[in-house]
Chains A and B, each alone.
Chain A
Amino acid sequence: MNMMNSSPAPHAQGLPTYLVVDVSKSMRPYEALLNRTLEDIINTLYSSPRISEFIHLSILTFSNRPHLVLAMTEIAELTRLPTVECRGSTYFAPLFESLRDRIEFDLPRLLARNVRPLRPVVFLLTDGAPADPEERWASAFDALTSREWRPHPHVITYGFGEAVESVLKRMATAAAFIADPHAGTDTQAITAALGTMLNSLVATARAEALQVPERVKGFRSIPLDHVEF
């Protein structure tokens, strides 16, 4: 069977993008803010075909378990906006395992839609330290980001509140940022982080290549030992 002509060769490139948000109970005071900001991000993609045709967005939240809040579907197919609830603790190992599963699931579907995926990117926002042991989440993270696994994603971390700098650094491959507690409130930190993510996505869509934020208002950039970018 000649499969060569069964579907046209992929045309446009696309960036599989995973926005990952900590929704442990410590984030509950910011639940409304998270929902508003996520709505802004989705609405920006909905309003801008030039962005949404390049940025293929999926949103996951995590606490005790990861939750798929928005599958990597066409934004245009959305009929209602997803919302998040905050409860539980902050377990990273199931999240990293789930991300790997999602990438393996999503990328072939992009190809089937004639999208040539670039290396996926994960934007991760957290306010706390891991509740699971380091060997557990570090192992899962290493499996997610192993160079042996071809579609291993770039990971950019943002931390505020009780987030630990060394953990953010360990969980990042492209950039890591930690909020400066003297620069503003946690509310401002969340707004700045998600706003920067959105700006990064807009700039990325324009350049058709991942544009890593250089700075985030109210945050300090954490130097990484090795930047794969």
Chain B
Amino acid sequence: MTPRTRLKTWSDSPFEAVTPLAEVAARGVVIAEENGESQVLYESAEHPGWLVKLYRPGLATEPVQVLDRLIALPAEMPPADLALVDRSLCWPVSRVMDGERAAGVVLAKAPPEFRVEMRMISGASVHRLMDIDQLVQTDLDFYAKRGWATPTPQERLAVARNLAAVGVLLERYDIVYGDWSYANALWARGTGEIFLIDMDSCGLTDRLWVESKFWNDPAVPSGSRLSVHTDRYKLAVLVLRCLTGLRGPEPAAAHAALPADVRGGPLGEILWTAVTTGDPSRRPPMSELHALLASTPGFEPAQPAQPATAAAPSLDTRPPSVISVAASLGPAPYGSSSPSSLGRASVPENPHPSTGEPARARPSARPDQGRAGIDAEHAPAGSLLPLVIALFVAALALLAVAGLATSLFS
């Protein structure tokens, strides 16, 4: 039997630079609908192995000339760069036209090595893509429950190195990716090979802002056009998270989780500069990051550390332990875009939900367990009383600090 040849994501494209929608309208498997920028993403029934992404009408995008330039660019690349594109990038290969309207794009389907069997809650296994979201974990149980081996330090390093290699290529051609995140890169178990998706929304020199709160460059105003400098920040954050498995809003915490010799060495320094400098132009080029990753032997990540102390440089100079607590108790409104909280930690004496019969006064019955096997909150109220009291006392103490305690008793 002849071994199946892996599809080259750009070089094996059977499409012209522009494809009429009618040629790819027949849908095979629908991958996603109403997902982010796309109205639908499906495998072409006429061209298996190739995906058609149709954009939401009216969505702000880069000018069509940018997409056309991206599509054409690999033809100008030297063999080594083209090989990296074909192996690790879901590069746009054709612009889809619906009459005069640019309707979408054709891209290669992710190669099979980026798929794994995953054990679900029911015990059944599903075949799914392995994205960085699954790599950035420190809970070993997370992998065990899913039937996966825990990622090794060598795997983590390989993923980080391969991500940086892609970053180097993009920077070389002044391509701004912008959307480095948990969801946009796949990785292969064992080899650490990566596959970067959503390449069709790249910009040249700069691109539209993409909102992704745990990845946003703090040195750049929200809504700004993104650049290679913001990509350097985001890739550095991604590398830190891949190396350490540490999630959370603060890259400094992931940096603190690096092994001491790495943290204090040139790799740690370059990563620290990339994620903390207030001057984006000071962020080192990706080639430097890649070179250091390539020369770093395998290591064991340190245990997840507490967030960096105030001594570490930070763009946010507010003392966190007081201000953020006060903010969570203050009158800041809830809303779709602003952080919010309760205003006070309201802890009912009877924490269990009412399950009253219709047309009665509001009862305070025990919770209805329903049919889940996981409802832990229906323990008798007495066993929760110490916790309730502790939470209430804590809330009062915090209110006192914020100067709001009198409002409860006035």
Known: A69-B372, A105-B351. A118 touches B340 (CB 8 A): yes
Rounded to whole angstroms, the CA-CA distance of A43 and B334 in the bound complex is 29
Rounded to whole angstroms, the CA-CA distance of A9 and B316 in the bound complex is 15
Per-residue contact bits, chain B 318-331, to A (CB 8 Å; 1 contact, 0 not):
00111011001000
**A60: which B residues are within 8 A, CB to CB?**
370
Answer whether residue B296 sits at the interface, using C-beta atoms and an 8 A cutoff. Answer: no
Rounded to whole angstroms, the CA-CA distance of A67 and B128 in the bound complex is 32
Q: Is the CB of A50 within 8 A of B336?
A: no
Per-residue contact bits, chain A 82-124, to B (CB 8 Å; 1 contact, 0 not):
1111000001011001100110110110011000111100000
Contact residue among A50, A136, A195 (Cβ-Cβ distance under 8 Å from B183): A50
Q: Is the CB of A50 within 8 A of B121?
A: no
Nearest-neighbour CB distance to chain B for A132, whole angstroms, equals: 5
Q: Is the CB of A71 within 8 A of B334?
A: no
**B80: which A residues are within 8 A, CB to CB?**
none
* Nearest B-chain residue to A132, judged by Cβ: B358
Rounded to whole angstroms, the CA-CA distance of A97 and B250 in the bound complex is 38
Answer whether residue A225 sits at the interface, using C-beta atoms and an 8 A cutoff. Answer: no
Q: Is the CB of B120 within 8 A of A101?
A: no
Q: Is the CB of A98 within 8 A of B354?
A: yes
Q: Is the CB of B122 within 8 A of A71?
A: no
**B147: which A residues are within 8 A, CB to CB?**
none
Rounded to whole angstroms, the CA-CA distance of A220 and B321 in the bound complex is 47
**B359: which A residues are within 8 A, CB to CB?**
93, 132-133, 136
Q: Is the CB of B320 within 8 A of A68?
A: no
* Nearest A-chain residue to B129, judged by Cβ: A47
Answer whether residue B374 sits at the interface, using C-beta atoms and an 8 A cutoff. Answer: yes
Q: Is the CB of A104 within 8 A of B346?
A: yes
**11 interchain pairs (CB within 8 A)?**
A4-B397, A4-B398, A8-B307, A12-B248, A46-B121, A48-B183, A70-B375, A101-B348, A118-B339, A206-B183, A229-B336
Q: Is the CB of A151 within 8 A of B133?
A: no
A-B contact count (CB 8 A): 212
Nearest-neighbour CB distance to chain A for B368, whole angstroms, equals: 5
Q: Is the CB of A111 within 8 A of B248?
A: no
Q: Is the CB of A105 within 8 A of B348?
A: yes
**B134: which A residues are within 8 A, CB to CB?**
49
Known: A68-B369, A68-B375, A80-B121. A151 touches B346 (CB 8 A): yes
Rounded to whole angstroms, the CA-CA distance of A70 and B388 in the bound complex is 21
**B248: which A residues are within 8 A, CB to CB?**
11-12
Answer whether residue B8 sits at the interface, using C-beta atoms and an 8 A cutoff. Answer: no
Q: Is the CB of A79 within 8 A of B354?
A: no
Contact residue among A3, A13, A67 (Cβ-Cβ distance under 8 Å from B393): A3
Contact residue among B142, B181, B376, B397 (Cβ-Cβ distance under 8 Å from A1): B397
Q: Is the CB of A50 within 8 A of B133?
A: yes
**B335: which A residues are within 8 A, CB to CB?**
119, 209
Q: Which chain B residues (358-410) contact chain A, with CB distance < 8 Å?
A: 358-359, 362, 367-377, 391, 393-395, 397-398, 401
Answer whether residue B355 sits at the interface, using C-beta atoms and an 8 A cutoff. Answer: yes
* Nearest B-chain residue to A102, judged by Cβ: B353
Mark the stretch among B13-21, B33-41, B160-168, B201-209 that contacts chain A.
B33-41
Q: Is the CB of B358 within 8 A of A93?
A: yes
Chain B: residues with Cβ within 8 Å of the partner, total of 79
Q: What is A's interface to B at a CB cutoff of 8 Å?
A: 1-13, 39, 42-43, 46-50, 53, 60-61, 64-71, 73, 76-85, 91, 93-94, 97-98, 101-102, 104-105, 107-108, 111-112, 116-119, 131-133, 136, 150-151, 195-196, 199, 202-203, 206-212, 229
Answer whether residue B182 sits at the interface, using C-beta atoms and an 8 A cutoff. Answer: yes
Known: A50-B183, A101-B348, A117-B342. A209 touches B324 (CB 8 A): no
Contact residue among A8, A104, A131, A132 (Cβ-Cβ distance under 8 Å from B348): A104
Nearest-neighbour CB distance to chain B for A66, whole angstroms, equals: 6
**A5: which B residues are within 8 A, CB to CB?**
321
Known: A66-B353, A107-B346. A4 touches B182 (CB 8 A): no
Q: What is B's interface to A at a CB cutoff of 8 Å?
A: 33-36, 118, 120-122, 126, 128, 133-134, 136-137, 139, 141-142, 145, 181-183, 211-214, 247-250, 306-307, 320-322, 324-325, 328, 334-337, 339-348, 351-359, 362, 367-377, 391, 393-395, 397-398, 401
**B336: which A residues are within 8 A, CB to CB?**
209-212, 229
Q: Is the CB of B353 within 8 A of A108?
A: no
| Given A4-B321, A136-B359, 9 other A-B residues pairs in contact with their CB atoms under 8 A | A10-B328, A60-B370, A68-B375, A73-B376, A105-B352, A111-B328, A116-B339, A150-B343, A195-B33
* Nearest A-chain residue to B145, judged by Cβ: A76
Q: Is the CB of A107 within 8 A of B342?
A: yes
**B139: which A residues are within 8 A, CB to CB?**
76
Contact residue among A10, A53, A150, A212 (Cβ-Cβ distance under 8 Å from B247): A53
**A50: which B residues are within 8 A, CB to CB?**
133, 181-183
Contact residue among A4, A42, A47, A199 (Cβ-Cβ distance under 8 Å from B118): A47
Known: A71-B374, A111-B341. A43 touches B353 (CB 8 A): no
**B354: which A residues are within 8 A, CB to CB?**
94, 97-98, 101
Rounded to whole angstroms, the CA-CA distance of A73 and B352 in the bound complex is 14
The 9 closest A-B pairs by CB, nearest first: A119-B334, A3-B397, A82-B372, A101-B353, A67-B370, A91-B358, A69-B370, A208-B213, A105-B351
Rounded to whole angstroms, the CA-CA distance of A16 and B14 in the bound complex is 47
Q: Is the CB of B334 within 8 A of A118?
A: yes
Rounded to whole angstroms, the CA-CA distance of A35 and B349 in the bound complex is 33
Q: Is the CB of A199 within 8 A of B35?
A: yes
